[in-house]
Amino acid sequence: MQGGESNTDGNGGKADGAPGTALYIASLADELARLAKSHDLDALAYILDMARLEADQVAKHPPDWTGEEPQAVD
């Protein structure tokens, strides 16, 4: 973490690792996409929707942060 950054969910609670953080980001992206749509910022709304979808995927299938290479299955 740098400077004033903290590992919270934005509501004062600790984020629950990658899945919890991803869900929080998805929620923010959804709000921002709605705001962009309401002001006819279609390209920005689209990008924010894509960010929301990606964050939802990460929340459902968190990345493996072990740093190990995946093993081939025979």
- Strands (E) in 1-74, as ranges, are none
Which residues are 8's β-sheet partners?
14
Range(s) of the domain holding residue 23: 17-59
Per-residue pLDDT at 62: 83
Total domain count, the chain: 1
Query: What b/e sequence results for 36-50 when a residue is b if at least 16 CB atoms lie within 10 Å of its CB, and e otherwise?
Result: beeeeeeeebeebbe
DSSP state of 8: B
Per-residue pLDDT at 71: 63
Give CA–CA dist 32/41, Å, rounded. Answer: 11
Query: pLDDT tens digit string along 35-70?
Result: 999 999 999 999 999 999 999 999 998 877 655 555
40 is a domain residue: yes
User: Residue 33 is encoded by which pair of tokens?
Assistant: 């996409």
Query: Is the model more confident about 56 or about 17?
Result: 56
29 is a domain residue: yes
Per-residue pLDDT at 13: 47
34 is a domain residue: yes
